[in-house]
């Protein structure tokens, strides 16, 4: 009820009218109430199952008896105990109420028992930054905010401090004030499973020497304890499912490698950095050296490949003092091995039968690869992990279009969660599905393999199988 004054002295009351029930809703009500004036909880259950496709038994808030009681209590306070069935107006109110019948429910509704690589994963980029990429403060606060939103992949850039005896998290070679690694790890532990019970993956961009890698391993082990998932055999055929990895923490980074100390290699590294700096789209403050040993032996064909100048942002190792046959404590913590094999991108996208690995590409490297290697990307991501990260010129923490990565099966489309804009809204909207758990099952066409070993080609022009027409009624 509402009211308004007339000539100061009088008050008139009015009752707001409800929208007219559309004919389609009337027909559904008549059908499922079996021609009666009211719909019982059992009849509502049948409607929810047959028309809306709801699995009523698996969703507590869809208990028909409870739904009827809540709708009546809200709309008819006095008569809430008089009847326990829905009238046509009640049924109409229920259908168009975001409170009782929301378009996206908070329960997980997809199969969570497939290998981890079968899912798109809610992924952050430089998760510790509070603002822009050059001068904003590094903190655990944005990490906490991201985890509370449901983000499942957190990225940390780890560097030695000035005295080389402790580990900091910061955006290297910029003006970003650092935060201690241990503080970030503790915050991840405390907030990892607030929004979702499914696994959290920490991707480390490692700039440490062997002694500090050992210290990092101790920090990680002591902080997470039994929460850590450490595979016994690094040559896994598949990573376990999200269901099997509930409440587990996973580490993904490049394993320690033996780097040669020769003068020619160091010179090749400098030469590679100098040549890459000419590309305005490349990361101007984080040139990452990979395959430096192979620089002088590349042929002309490899130089023309789309990934020659697009180096992985986590393929960094400043340590040239590893012993070749010594397996470190740090290496044993790695659940998903990152790194790019030597050679062209086509070589890097080859699937190995007994190994699962993660490859990182910049957004522009993905766009170039999608032109000629679309099916290779699809086949690679059916088993392995592909991570896409923003190009270096996005200094304001803006984001790119995520659909290109998702269309090619990339599980980890990494976004600046502290950013802004339409692309970030698309990312948030994507991961509101499946109960907001941070994992969304890939569609079958990205996982299917045909009888002749063919896979989906994103560049194919397919016929439209079904046209969906939507009519919007303004109420």
Nearest to 311 by CA among 351, 350, 284, 335: 284
Please work out, in degrees rounded to the nearest 5, the angle formed at the alpha carbon of residue 300 by the alpha carbons of 299 and 301.
Answer: 95
Other beta carbons less than 10 A from residue 141's beta carbon? 14
Q: Which residues contact 354 (CB under 8 A, 6 or more apart)?
A: 235, 237
The single residue of 92, 93, 118, 125 carrying the catalytic annotation is: 125
Q: Which residues contact 2 (CB under 8 A, 6 or more apart)?
A: 13, 14, 15, 16
DSSP 85: S
Q: Rounded to whole angstroms, how far apart are CA atoms 337 and 340?
A: 10
Q: Which residues contact 412 (CB under 8 A, 6 or more apart)?
A: 121, 123, 153, 203, 358, 385, 386, 387, 388
Does 171 participate in catalysis according to the annotation?
A: yes
DSSP letter for each residue of 186-245: HHHHHHTTSS-SS-EEEEEEE---HHHHHHHHHHHHHHHGGGB---S-S--SSPPPTTTT
The single residue of 93, 118, 171, 337 carrying the catalytic annotation is: 171
**Kind of pairing, strands 412-413 and 385-389?**
parallel
Does 125 participate in catalysis according to the annotation?
A: yes
Q: Rounded to whole angstroms, how far apart are CA atoms 219 and 222?
A: 5
Q: Rounded to whole angstroms, how far apart are CA atoms 229 and 244?
A: 11
Q: Rounded to whole angstroms, how far apart are CA atoms 186 and 224?
A: 8
473 contacts 391 by C-beta, under 8 angstroms: no
Q: Which residues are catalytic?
A: 125, 171
């Amino acid at each position: 009820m509402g009211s308004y004054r007339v000539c100061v002295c009088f008050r008139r009351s009015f009752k707001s009218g409800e929208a007219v029930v559309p004919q389609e809703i009337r027909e559904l009500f008549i059908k499922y109430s079996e021609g009666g004036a009211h719909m019982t909880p059992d009849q509502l259950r049948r409607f929810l199952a047959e028309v809306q496709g709801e699995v009523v038994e698996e969703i507590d808030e869809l208990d028909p008896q409870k739904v009827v009681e809540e709708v009546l209590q809200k709309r008819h306070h006095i008569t809430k105990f008089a009847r326990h069935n829905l009238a046509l107006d009640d049924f109409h109110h229920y259908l168009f109420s975001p409170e009782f019948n929301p378009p996206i429910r908070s329960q997980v509704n997809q199969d969570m028992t497939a290998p981890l690589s079968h899912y798109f994963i809610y992924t952050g980029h430089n998760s510790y930054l509070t603002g822009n990429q050059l001068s904003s403060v590094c903190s655990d606060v944005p990490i906490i905010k991201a985890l509370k939103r449901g983000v499942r992949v957190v990225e940390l850039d780890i560097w030695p401090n000035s005295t080389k005896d402790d580990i900091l998290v910061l955006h290297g070679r910029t003006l970003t004030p650092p935060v201690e690694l241990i503080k970030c790890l503790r915050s991840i532990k405390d907030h990892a499973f607030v929004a979702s019970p499914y696994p959290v993956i920490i991707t480390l961009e490692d700039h440490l020497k062997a002694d500090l890698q050992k210290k990092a391993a101790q920090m990680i082990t002591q902080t997470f304890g039994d929460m850590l998932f450490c595979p016994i055999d690094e040559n896994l055929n598949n990573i376990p499912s999200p269901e099997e990895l509930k409440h587990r923490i996973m580490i993904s980074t490049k394993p320690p490698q033996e780097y040669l100390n020769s003068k020619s290699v160091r010179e090749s590294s400098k030469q590679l950095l100098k040549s890459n700096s000419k590309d305005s789209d490349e990361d101007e403050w984080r040139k990452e050296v990979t395959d430096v040993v192979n620089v002088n032996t590349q042929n002309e064909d490899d130089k023309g490949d789309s990934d020659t100048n697009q180096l992985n942002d986590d393929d960094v190792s400043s340590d040239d003092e590893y012993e070749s046959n010594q397996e470190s404590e740090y290496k044993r913590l790695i659940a998903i091995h990152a790194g790019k094999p030597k050679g062209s991108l086509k070589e890097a996208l080859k699937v190995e039968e007994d190994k699962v690995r993660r490859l990182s590409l910049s957004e522009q490297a993905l766009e170039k690869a999608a032109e000629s290697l679309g099916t290779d990307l699809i086949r690679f991501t059916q088993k392995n992990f592909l991570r896409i990260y923003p190009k270096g010129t996005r200094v304001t923490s803006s984001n790119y279009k995520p659909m290109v990565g998702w269309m090619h099966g990339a599980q980890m489309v990494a976004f600046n969660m502290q950013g802004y804009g339409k692309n970030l809204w698309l990312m948030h909207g994507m991961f509101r599905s499946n109960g907001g758990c941070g994992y969304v099952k890939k569609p079958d066409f990205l996982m299917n393999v045909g009888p002749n070993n063919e896979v989906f080609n994103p560049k194919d022009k397919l016929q439209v199988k079904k046209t969906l027409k939507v009519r919007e009624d303004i109420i």
